[in-house]
C-alpha cells in the first residue's frame, strides 16, 4: 500500500512540472492576448423607425443628416466593419498555444499473457521560443488595424459621395425652379411678340421663334425631372431604402463657407495626422517590422515538454517520465532567405509610405486651390455675371417693345440669362463640392460640421 501511495507522487510532480513550464513559456504572449482582447469593437445599430420617419418627413433635406443616415444604414460599411471584426479575431488564434497531444499505446502480446499488461500514456505540449507568439499576434493585429483604417477610408469616401450627390440634387432642384421661371418669361415674350405682330412692329416669325424656344426649355425640364428621379433612386440605394421612397426637397440656397481655407502647410500637416490610408500603411509597417523580428527569431529552437507513464518498467520509479525535446534549426540558408524576404517587404512598405505622404500633400494643395477658385467664381457670378445678364434681358425687352432691336436679340439675351443663372447655381454647389474634397483630403468627414464650424 505504501508503494502505491508513493507511486502517485511522481505523476503529480510530472504534471505540475509540465504545466508550470507551459505557463512560464507562454506568459508574455498571454499578456499580449489579454491586452488585445480588451480592444472594443463598436457595434452597428440600425436606425430606429421613428428616426427614419422623421428623416423622410423633414421639410428640407439637410446635408449633415443625409450623410449621417447613409453612414448608419449603408451595408457596405457594415460589411467592412465585420471584416475588421473578423481580422481582430485572428490575433488570439495566432498567440494561442498548439493543442496538447495525448497519446496511448499498448503491447498487444501482453493482453493474453501472464506477464504485466503493457501500456504507455504520454502527454506533450509544443512551446514556441519565447516571443514568437507575441510577434505573430503583432502581425495579426497590424492586419486588423489595416482593416480598421480601410473601414474609415470607406466611410470618408462614402460621405464624400453622399455630399456630392446632395449638391447634384440641389443643382437639379434649382435648375427646375429657374426653368419654370423662364417658361413663364418666355410665355410673356411670346405674348409680347404676338402683340407686336398685330400692330405691325414684328414679323410672323417672332411668335414662332418664341414657341420653338419654349419647346426647347420644356425638353430641358423633362430631362431635369428625369435626372431628379435618378438621383433620388441613387440616394435611396445608399440609404438602403426602396428607390422610389420619397425624400425631402433640398434647400433653396446653399450658404457659402464663411472662412477661407487655412494655410496649405497647416492643412497638409492635419492630413498627415488624420488620413486613414496613412494610418493603415503605418500599421502595415508595424506588421512588417514584427515579421522581420519573427524571421530572426525562427532561428531559435522550439521546445516540446512531455510527461508519460509506462507500465512495462518493473521499477515504479522508472514508470513515470518527464522530458523536453527541441527542434534543431540546421538549414541556415532557408532562414536567411526568410529574413531577406521580410526585410525586403519592410523596405517596400517604407517606400510606399514616402510616396503616400507626397501624394497626400499634393492632393491637399490641389483641393485647396480648387476651393479658392470656386469661391472666386461664385463672387464673379453674384457681383457681375448675373446682374449683367438680367440687365441685358431688360434692355433687350425694352428695345424690342420700342422697335429698336429684333426679337431674336431678345431671345438670345433670355437664353444667355438662363445659362448664367444655371451656371451660378452650379458654381455655388461647386464650392460645397470643393470643400467636401478638401475635407476628405485632410481626413475630415465630408458633409459633417467640424468642431467650431458650421456648414
> Can you tell me the distance from the alpha carbon of 433 to that of 159, in angstroms, rounded to the nearest whole number?
12
User: Is 81 a residue whose pLDDT tops 80?
Assistant: yes
Note the pLDDT tens digit of each residue in 103-132.
999 998 888 888 888 899 999 999 999 999
Length of the chain, in residues: 455
Q: Where are the beta strands (DSSP E) in 7-133?
A: 101-106, 119-127
pTM (predicted TM-score) = 0.81
Over range 305-324, report the average pLDDT: 90
Over range 323-345, report the average pLDDT: 91
User: Is 454 a residue whose pLDDT tops 90?
Assistant: no
Write down the pLDDT at residue 51.
54
- What percent of the chain lies above the pLDDT cut of 70? 87
> Can you tell me the distance from the alpha carbon of 126 to that of 301, in angstroms, rounded to the nearest whole number?
11
For the chain, list the domains and their CATH numbers.
Answer: 7-39+61-442 (1.20.1600.10)
Which residue's C-alpha cell is 462614402?
158
Pair 68, 448: CB distance under 8 Å: yes
Write down the pLDDT at residue 41.
41
Please state the φ and ψ torsions of residue 322, each to the nearest 5 degrees: -135, 140
- What percent of the chain lies above the pLDDT cut of 90? 65
- Band of residue 53 on the pLDDT scale cut at 50, 70, 90: low
Amino acid at each position: 500500500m505504501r508503494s502505491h501511495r508513493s507511486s502517485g507522487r511522481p505523476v503529480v510532480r510530472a504534471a505540475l512540472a509540465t504545466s508550470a513550464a507551459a505557463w512560464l513559456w507562454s506568459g508574455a504572449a498571454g499578456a499580449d492576448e489579454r491586452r488585445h482582447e480588451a480592444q472594443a469593437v463598436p457595434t452597428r445599430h440600425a436606425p430606429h423607425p421613428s428616426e427614419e420617419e422623421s428623416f423622410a418627413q423633414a421639410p428640407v433635406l439637410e446635408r449633415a443628416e443625409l450623410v449621417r443616415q447613409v453612414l448608419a444604414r449603408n451595408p457596405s460599411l457594415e460589411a467592412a466593419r465585420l471584416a475588421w471584426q473578423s481580422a481582430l479575431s485572428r490575433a488570439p488564434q495566432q498567440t494561442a498555444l498548439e493543442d496538447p497531444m495525448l497519446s496511448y499505446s499498448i503491447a498487444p502480446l501482453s493482453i493474453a499473457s501472464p506477464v504485466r499488461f503493457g501500456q504507455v500514456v504520454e502527454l506533450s505540449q509544443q512551446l514556441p521560443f519565447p516571443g514568437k507568439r507575441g510577434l505573430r499576434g503583432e502581425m495579426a493585429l497590424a492586419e486588423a488595424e489595416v482593416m480598421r483604417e480601410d473601414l474609415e477610408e470607406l466611410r470618408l469616401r462614402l460621405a464624400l459621395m453622399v455630399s456630392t450627390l446632395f449638391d447634384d440634387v440641389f443643382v437639379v432642384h434649382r435648375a427646375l425652379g429657374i426653368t419654370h421661371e423662364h417658361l413663364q418669361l418666355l410665355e410673356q415674350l411670346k405674348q409680347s411678340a404676338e402683340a407686336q405682330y398685330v400692330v405691325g412692329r414684328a414679323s410672323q416669325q417672332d411668335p414662332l421663334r418664341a414657341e420653338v424656344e419654349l419647346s426647347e426649355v420644356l425638353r430641358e425640364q423633362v430631362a431635369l425631372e428625369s435626372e431628379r428621379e435618378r438621383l433620388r433612386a441613387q440616394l435611396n440605394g445608399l440609404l438602403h431604402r426602396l428607390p422610389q421612397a420619397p425624400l425631402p426637397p433640398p434647400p433653396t440656397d446653399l450658404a457659402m463657407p464663411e472662412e477661407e481655407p487655412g494655410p496649405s502647410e497647416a492643412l497638409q500637416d492635419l492630413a498627415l495626422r488624420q488620413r486613414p490610408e496613412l494610418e493603415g500603411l503605418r500599421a502595415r509597417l508595424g506588421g512588417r517590422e514584427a515579421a522581420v523580428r519573427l524571421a530572426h527569431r525562427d532561428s531559435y529552437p522550439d521546445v516540446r515538454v512531455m510527461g508519460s507513464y509506462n507500465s512495462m518498467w518493473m521499477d515504479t520509479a522508472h514508470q513515470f517520465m518527464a522530458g523536453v525535446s527541441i527542434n534543431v534549426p540546421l538549414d541556415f540558408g532557408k532562414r536567411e532567405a526568410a529574413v531577406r524576404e521580410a526585410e525586403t517587404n519592410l523596405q517596400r512598405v517604407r517606400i510606399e509610405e514616402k510616396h503616400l505622404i507626397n501624394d497626400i500633400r499634393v492632393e491637399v494643395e490641389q483641393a485647396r486651390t480648387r476651393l479658392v477658385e470656386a469661391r472666386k467664381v461664385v463672387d464673379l457670378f453674384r457681383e457681375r455675371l448675373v446682374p449683367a445678364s438680367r440687365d441685358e434681358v431688360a434692355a433687350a425687352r425694352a428695345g424690342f417693345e420700342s422697335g429698336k432691336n429684333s426679337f431674336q436679340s431678345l431671345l438670345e439675351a433670355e437664353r444667355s440669362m438662363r445659362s448664367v443663372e444655371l451656371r451660378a447655381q452650379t458654381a455655388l454647389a461647386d464650392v460645397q463640392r470643393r470643400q467636401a474634397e478638401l475635407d476628405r483630403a485632410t481626413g475630415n468627414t465630408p458633409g459633417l460640421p467640424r468642431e467650431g464650424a458650421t456648414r
